[in-house]
Amino acid sequence: MVESNSDMKKLADKDGHFRRKDSVFRSFISRSPSAEFPAEANRYVLYINLGCPWAHRTNIVRSLKGLEDIIQLVKVGHGLGPILWEFNGTDGSDEKEPLYGFNYLKDLYLKVDPEYEGRYTVPLLWDKKTEKIVSNESSEIIRMFYTEFDDLLPAELREDGPRGLYPEHLRGEIDAMNEWVYHQINNGVYKSGFATSQEAYDANVYTLFEGLDRVEKHLGEPGHQPYLFGDHITEADIRLYTTTIRFDVAYYSIFKCNIKMIRHDYPRIHRWLRLLYWDESERTRGGAFKKTSTLDLYKRGYAASVGKVHGFPLEKLVLPAGPLPAILPFDA
């Protein structure tokens, strides 16, 4: 029996189009001590799956901001049965959920709200003290991480220091870029990959490549190197990175996003991507991008998801070998 709100076959609507549902839990951690969810060390747990690009955003920011000792990270594996997220030792996950011994991520959602009818998604930010979900929306979790724990961090890691990820003078431009990058690229790959009709796939796959063409052009404009908005890594880089690092290895073949490849067809994006991935300097706190990127997992995770959408059993998955290597060296 597949439960309706975790049923992967129902990801696409009747017309074959994948339309992502809005996240349901949208509270905020605040630096104010009187807030419902005040910023405190050892109080919050971030649940992720390493394959998920939305969860990956939060994992990168946790690492870039130096929040590893402040926010606990728990990895959940890909479900071997019909339920998507399972604590089963795969993808670096524990055998059981560490706080309550649950088997599935959905058990946390149902603990908070037994009537919950939304999807059981990662990332999930959990408050140990109130036993509530703070948020399951990555774009908002990363923004809390930028600022709200800053009183607990050294000056050089604070948002008002030189490494601000969402600096005031760039907010308008970052928001504008986020908007089209989200629709055309971050979510664009899913609109191709989870389409269950030829019409839905055809209606979306070209728009994705128009988005990548636009990024390639953006990176050629003054003030847009080496990072998307100049000398410093910003939110825009993080949000684009998690899709592009999965592109050649997984989306190209498994999501049928195969009109162009980053490594062969987008020299500027390819350079920018490798610059972030291979950076193990202090700028990325010793490799926040590389350390959180698990290229070997991406094919299997996406093949399993697409298999679930089409009712194809996991044990029969055959994974594509290439491209080799999964990411090229910086100077190739």
Cβ proximity to ligand GSH, 47 vs 209, nearer residue: 47
Is 36 a known ligand-binding residue? no
From CA 297, how far away is CA 163, in angstroms rounded?
A: 30
CB of 287 to ligand GSH, least distance (A): 23
CB of 41 to ligand GSH, least distance (A): 24
Nearest CA among 168, 129, 182, 153 for reference residue 31: 153
The count of other CB atoms within 10 Å of the CB of residue 253 is: 19
Is 119 a known ligand-binding residue? yes
Residues that bind ligand GSH (CB under 6 A): 6, 23, 52, 54, 84, 119-123, 136-139
CB of 141 to ligand GSH, least distance (A): 7
CB of 255 to ligand GSH, least distance (A): 12
* DSSP state string for 111-133: HH-TT--S---S-EEEETTTTEE
- Cβ-contact 321, 250 below 8 angstroms: no
Cβ burial of 168 (10 Å; 0-12, 13-18, 19+) is exposed
Cβ proximity to ligand GSH, 58 vs 72, nearer residue: 58
Which one of the listed residues 47, 52, 241, 277 is annotated catalytic? Answer: 52
Is 126 a known ligand-binding residue? no
CB of 190 to ligand GSH, least distance (A): 8
Is 192 a known ligand-binding residue? no
CB of 102 to ligand GSH, least distance (A): 16
From CA 288, how far away is CA 250, in angstroms rounded?
A: 21
Neighbour order of strands in the sheet with 44-48: 72-75, 44-48, 124-127, 132-135
From CA 82, how far away is CA 326, in angstroms rounded?
A: 29
Which residues have CB under 8 Å from 79's CB, separation 6+?
A: 85, 86, 88, 104
| DSSP-derived 3-state class of residue 44 | strand
Is 179 a known ligand-binding residue? no
Q: How far from each other are the two terminal CA atoms of the chain, in whole angstroms?
A: 49
Which one of the listed residues 44, 47, 104, 190 is annotated catalytic? Answer: 190
Assess whether 52 carries a catalytic annotation. yes
Which residues have CB under 8 Å from 331's CB, separation 6+?
A: none
Assess whether 201 carries a catalytic annotation. no
Cβ proximity to ligand GSH, 137 vs 248, nearer residue: 137
Six token digits for residue 188? 């664009």
| DSSP-derived 3-state class of residue 234 | coil
Cβ proximity to ligand GSH, 24 vs 153, nearer residue: 24
Cβ proximity to ligand GSH, 77 vs 123, nearer residue: 123
Cβ proximity to ligand GSH, 26 vs 271, nearer residue: 26
Backbone angles phi, psi at 285, to 5 degrees: 50, 50
Feature table: binding site = 85, 119-122, 137-138
Feature table: binding site for glutathione = 85, 119-122, 137-138
| Positions marked catalytic | 52, 190
